[in-house]
């Protein structure tokens, strides 16, 4: 199959293909994708500005492979031209093998040629099937992935059932959502249909609410399959949201689904505890059902950060993971310095200084990886304003 795809990619596409480098991997990509404001989808889609999320995938796969003593099978259901999958096979270390699936034969041909350029062709396999058919066939054959990746245009909801079934016990499932308008509340009916819950529009912590909706949908599907999904890491960058889950083949008894609230009157927010009104007496806005538990696993974030050493993942990934590790145990729904400034009617306080003042006042506080101006704290808005 791979040799046939390699032949299919040559000839007609040759003139429009160029080589680029991500991390330690050489990739063959359409030349227009490196210069166009919006990368073209034909003959294959490649977004160079999404490099960071692929850097993070390499770190996650490397940490997972190390925990599994170097062995990891990667199943990429919607591989495109293989930028992620080839990098995982080439850079994650250990015995990492990748099966790249896509209906675009020309794109898979480029993936195979890229694998050959990096000397990892023997650890990269290509198939061309519908995504759920591919994942279901692997599950039936007992070839479940240590890491299963689903990165579609739009919502991942339609792929969750087969992706969970195709993930090995103790393995990891990573899913991406790019339907930001739906997750941010512009189309609440579509959000309820795809994710089983609705967001709150125009809140400072909208990114987190969106990620919790994505996570909640996956956790609910897993519960129906008597499978536990535990969010281990998540990120938001540009036009996408991405969540990594630990998958365990046992019933989920945690009950981590619920709702979060946001009070426009006083600024309080968090997991809804059953009260219809905020402490200030106002009626809060409510989002959900969604995932209300931790979005980050501190030991896994630390393991990913350790993998940054000696890799070309960039300092930005190390900072991102350091923040994720620090905020793992902090409350849901972060704040931003711009929001504090608006309520205090002042200029935005320096993030580091505000966090230091909150800690001196006896509150827990840390920056968040989801927003460069955001922070989490055990303090409510009135206490935050006292420290601003």
Given 195, 226, 254, the domain boundary residue is 254
**Predicted pLDDT at 13:** 47
**Predicted pLDDT at 316:** 82
**Predicted pLDDT at 74:** 98
Given 202, 237, 254, the domain boundary residue is 254
In a shared domain, residues 43 and 175: yes
Both tokens assigned to 251: 């019933």
**Predicted pLDDT at 231:** 98
CATH number at residue 356: 3.30.56.70
* Dihedral-angle region of residue 3 (phi above 0 means left; psi in -120 to 50 means alpha; beta otherwise): alpha
> Residue 274: inside a domain, yes or no?
no
- Dist CA 327 CA 334 (whole Å): 10
pLDDT score of 208 more than 90: yes
- The model's confidence at residue 9, banded by pLDDT at 50, 70 and 90, is very low
CATH number at residue 143: 3.40.50.150
**Predicted pLDDT at 36:** 87
In a shared domain, residues 216 and 352: no
> Residue 66: inside a domain, yes or no?
yes
**pLDDT tens profile 319-334:** 999 999 999 999 999 9
Q: Provide the pairing of β-strand 124-127 with 95-101.
A: parallel
> Residue 288: inside a domain, yes or no?
no
In a shared domain, residues 39 and 178: yes
Provide the whole-model pTM.
Answer: 0.94
In a shared domain, residues 237 and 358: no
In a shared domain, residues 194 and 303: no
**pLDDT tens profile 248-268:** 999 988 889 999 999 999 999
pLDDT score of 104 more than 70: yes
pLDDT score of 318 more than 60: yes
In a shared domain, residues 223 and 323: no
> Residue 336: inside a domain, yes or no?
yes
- The model's confidence at residue 211, banded by pLDDT at 50, 70 and 90, is very high
**pLDDT tens profile 171-192:** 999 999 999 999 999 999 999 9
Domain count, the chain: 2
Pick from 109, 136, 80: nearest CA to 5:
109
In a shared domain, residues 151 and 213: yes
Domain that holds residue 210: 2-254
pLDDT score of 11 more than 50: no
> Residue 279: inside a domain, yes or no?
no
Mean pLDDT over all residues of the chain?
93
**pLDDT tens profile 44-98:** 999 999 999 999 999 999 999 999 988 899 999 999 999 999 999 999 987 999 9
In a shared domain, residues 35 and 127: yes
In a shared domain, residues 341 and 236: no
């Amino acid at each position: 199959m791979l040799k046939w795809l390699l032949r299919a990619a040559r000839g007609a596409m040759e003139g429009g293909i160029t080589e680029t480098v991500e991390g330690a991997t050489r990739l063959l990509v359409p030349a227009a994708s490196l210069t166009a404001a919006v990368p073209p989808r034909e003959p294959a889609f490649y977004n160079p500005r999404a490099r960071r999320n692929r850097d993070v995938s390499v770190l996650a796969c490397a940490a997972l492979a190390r925990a599994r003593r170097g062995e990891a099978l990667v199943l990429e259901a919607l591989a495109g031209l293989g930028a992620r999958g080839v990098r995982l096979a080439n850079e994650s270390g250990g015995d990492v093998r990748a099966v790249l699936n896509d209906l675009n034969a020309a794109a898979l041909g480029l993936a195979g040629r890229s694998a050959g350029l990096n000397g990892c062709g023997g650890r990269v396999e290509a198939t061309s099937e519908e995504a759920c058919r591919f994942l279901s066939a692997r599950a039936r054959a007992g070839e479940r992935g240590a890491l299963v990746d689903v990165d579609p245009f739009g919502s991942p909801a339609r792929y969750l059932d087969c992706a969970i079934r195709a993930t090995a016990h103790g393995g990891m499932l990573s899913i991406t959502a790019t339907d930001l308008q739906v997750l941010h509340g512009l189309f609440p009916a579509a959000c309820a249909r795809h994710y089983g819950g609705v967001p709150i529009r125009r809140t400072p912590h909208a990114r987190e609410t969106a990620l919790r909706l994505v996570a909640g949908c996956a956790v609910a599907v897993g519960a129906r399959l008597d499978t536990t999904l535990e969010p281990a890491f998540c990120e938001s960058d540009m036009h996408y949201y991405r969540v990594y889950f630990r998958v365990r083949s046992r019933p989920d008894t945690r009950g981590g689904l619920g709702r979060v609230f946001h009070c426009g009157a006083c600024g309080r927010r968090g997991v809804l505890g059953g009260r219809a009104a905020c402490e200030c007496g106002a009626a809060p806005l409510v989002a959900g059902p969604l995932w209300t538990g931790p979005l980050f696993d501190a030991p896994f974030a630390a393991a990913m950060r350790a993998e940054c050493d000696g890799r070309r993942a960039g300092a930005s990934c190390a900072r991102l993971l350091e923040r994720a590790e620090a905020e793992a145990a902090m409350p849901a729904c972060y704040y931003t310095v711009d929001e504090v400034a608006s309520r205090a009617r002042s200029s935005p306080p320096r993030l580091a200084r505000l966090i230091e003042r909150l800690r001196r006042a006896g509150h827990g506080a840390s920056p968040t990886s989801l927003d460069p101006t955001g922070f989490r704290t055990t303090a409510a808005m009135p206490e935050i304003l006292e420290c601003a």
